[in-house]
Amino acid sequence: MTGRRSAEPPPPRPELDTDKAWELLRTVRTEADAEAAGLVRDAEGRPRWNRDSSPGARELADRYLPLCLAGPRLTFAQLGQSLDGFIATRTGDADYVTGEEDRRHLHRLRALADAVVVGAGTAVADDPQLTVRACTGAHPVRVVLDPHRRVPPHRKVFTDGSAPTLWVVSAGREGGHTPADDRPGPGVEVLTLPDSAAFAPGNLVRVLARRGLGRVLIEGGGVTVSRFLHERALHRLYVTVAPVLLGDGVPGLRFAGTPVMRDALRPPTRRAALGEDTLFELDLGTPHPGPPLDGEHPEPRQARGEREHPVHHGDGQPLGGAETGGPEGPGGGALPGPPAADVQR
């Protein structure tokens, strides 16, 4: 008689590397998705992979899982700047303020967004592509806010055909291109809003959501990001600071601030190294989004009665550890003073 052969244990799975971890994270939008991708929570609630993983894979889960799980309606922004707060030199040169790791981070944010928004000044000065190239992922819809039609039609977002583009203009414009010049290329749609008031951040977010673009990345420039921050239209803000001093240049965040230091915004913040740069991730809570859109259910956080985070005297704790507070945003209401002027560069 031949003896029964003992079952051999299955070979161990190979270590999860950064590229595979990113592919898995891209599929995550719910806790069930996270579990299916192999993500579990440790005793302190932090995400970890349920298999051997590289340091890069663990870093990706920690950095991006909160964004993946933040729901279908999310507005977040990213800026890269010098230590003294400039996003470009006084001539407009921004190639590159921050390093290669921050560029990869920005492209990952694009891959996790439905739409990426820039103002006219950025489209004119930088001629960006706004596509996903430094990592894998689908291109977001490119949204150009151009109420006065100042962006020349030959810019890449209008001509390269790489991704759909939404050109948002105003019916009440002054100056700019004549209608005969407005010949958008393939994949470009012109959206005309009635007046400048329709360009308010809260309204723009609702307009995009009605088109199925609920996860919105506000990429630039400083004026546009500052306006969304000032009007409490951001859930998250990413600011990458490079160890460089420009002395003068195009400013990053600018808004009418408080005269009293104790009233300054200090939201829950996380920090991470991106090569020589430092990434700050600010949790700004849940902006008051207005009534649900036509045919839309309330957002899960609203349905559970959850509210925004209050002003927090930042201690570097993980974002998930913040307490809930008032319904209108950190400190309640908009920041003091008028919104930042839309100075195009």
Evaluated on CA atoms 333, 335, 336, 340, the torsion sign reads negative
Backbone phi, then psi, for 141, in 5-degree steps? Answer: -70, 130
CB 89 within 8 A of CB 97: no
Q: What are the tens digits of pLDDT across the range 126-137?
A: 999 999 999 999
Q: Are 99 and 276 in contact (CB under 8 A)?
A: yes
Closest to 242 measured CA to CA, from 29, 79, 30: 79
Run of H or E including 233:
none
Under DSSP, is residue 14 helix (H, G, I), strand (E, B) or coil?
A: coil
**220 in Cβ contact with 198 (< 8 Å):** no
Q: How far apart are CA 141 and CA 116, in angstroms?
A: 6
One-letter-per-residue 3-state SS of 201-231: HHHHHHHHHHCCCCEEEEEECHHHHHHHHHC
Query: What is the rounded CA–CA span in Å between residue 223 and residue 255?
Result: 9
Token duo for residue 184: 């958008």
What was the pLDDT predicted at 182? 58
Kindly list the distances between the CA atom of residue 151 and the CA atoms of 120, 157, 174, 279, in Å, as whole numbers in the listed order: 6, 10, 13, 31
Secondary structure (DSSP) of 261-321: GGGS----EEEEEETTEEEEEEE-------SPPTT-PPPHHHHTT-------------GGG
Q: Which residues of the chain have pLDDT under 70?
A: 1-7, 9-12, 173-184, 286-345
* Helix or strand run (H / E) with residue 147: none
Give the number of other CB atoms < 10 A from CB of residue 40: 11
